[in-house]
Structure 1
């Protein structure tokens, strides 16, 4: 592939997910940004990857990479990920962050939110400090750390899922004021149970700070979610999982999320957390720009079956499915964004372009980063993933440089 030190290069013979259309053509990269996207309409002559000049109809004096008809997509953005390859963001250590970001970059992720679990205040603060330091130093050639997603500890004890119930606490605006003062613009999403005392005050504060208030691990009724949306709630984590379900006389959290267009939704598309039929229901109910693929991956992602832990709770991974040892509850996933992307194409009837929006464009928009991420277009950051015709990973570029 192209050497990482090159500041200008070109990728051609690609099926490019470019905004609202798939075009066959090339992408010209300069200084980490996309300079041009050109439609050719047909395959160009093949060249080696060792620096030969591109085809004669282009005058770009720069190295060229032949995509061999593969798919060039905007890099995946995972807004809900706890870890991977043995690392957990709660470890708050450089080796763990290195393992996580490199592992997920190898599966097409170019940007991610370090996601916490329900833990003690000191443990969360150690994680915030580590994430802030990591982001500032940009130490890895793996996926960019775009910020932090706090999943808990302000959740419902009735729906802990794989969160440690010992650390569940009521929503605390004082804590968030402290954390946002200590780490400006680091926290991007806070997941909470809107029915808990203090939740409305916290939601309003988050809205005032430009932080996404999200419902999850919640027993909220339909009406409570509607009221919370009026206060600023705008997102729901791992839809259908760890929330009050749909009933025809009390639509619950799930019913509210399905029918309120202003609330964006995450989905764990691995075939275990949510049946493909329920994903199809979500796709029919929600506006297309409000659905986001996530991994909810834990440290076991990429390591195979065995015994692990999440937030101090022992779990077992068997046939790729993680469950708590105490009660069999699903405990995060071993999913990658590439696997989720493939799943919604193969099982839910989405086109590659539609799946790309769920994996890249929509999360970038939710985070307010769609002015430079989530789309292959001139002026955007050259965060891209190349797949072959069978959707197998070939390369990931972050800021125009080969990840690895």
Structure 2
């Protein structure tokens, strides 16, 4: 249905006002100007067409109400008997065509500018998956997942909701200002849509396809958006946060991020030789489960009937082999929403969450899985589990 929207309506859609904007001017009754040249062009185009529509409405309704009042029967008006006026037909054909051309020219220029990703300074790949974003900085060997940071207690109404409820993440996308940023967008599973109103960027991420978009931010600040495509159960829990920085601050962040990733890699290698206690694994496993698994399988491990299987009391987490349990998390399950976490979690984190699932909610197997066990499983190169084998 979205593809059937008129060109101008589509442009207005990508620039809808958002209460989550921080640096852009806010307006409860109109579009936001945003913080990019394109967003300003979209706003100006919107206002131009809005004024044209107002002028048309004023003229049409003005003539209509004048005719109703001036030519009513109580004033002695007598209906004229005529039909077919060539001049009138020419006028009501030519005038709308001129109006459409007047709107189409600036609209086309704006749409062409929105699609021109050439001569970019930075390229970032954005991958949507249920229900998180993955960002990769081309040429920098930097990549990370961005997940909702709002606590489950706020979602459940136990705690007071924060200022950026459902619009906060653990790892924000960081961009420099005054640089042309090219986005390559795709998806791991279903169609998502990366939407940041202040940039006038809204683009679908489609499995098996690469879509392009770009932005050039003019002001430092924090800009927020959301997935704008109905992508499943947790669609409303898939926010976008962008930190726009000066070039010096961006360079410092990039250097720090590279060091952070290097340390994480070293820590992952060290964890292969470590033997963690049940208590340590259970504490870390609960943290990972709450952040990554509870959205589908529920905090109590009961799952959702017909959609997501229960873990509590399941054969996989009780009587099944640990290797089969690892297979579901490391490789995912073909034909289902269960995605692979091999590149999303470290071996230590996978070991912890498997240990937690096999010992929480009354499962009580006593099984302890270490990072070395996960690494050994990965090196076996086993085939992913199919949906029939769940």
Greater C-alpha Rg:
2
Q: Give the TM-score of the pair, scaled to structure 1.
A: 0.21
Larger relative contact order (C-alpha < 8 A, sep ≥ 6)?
1
More helix by share: 2
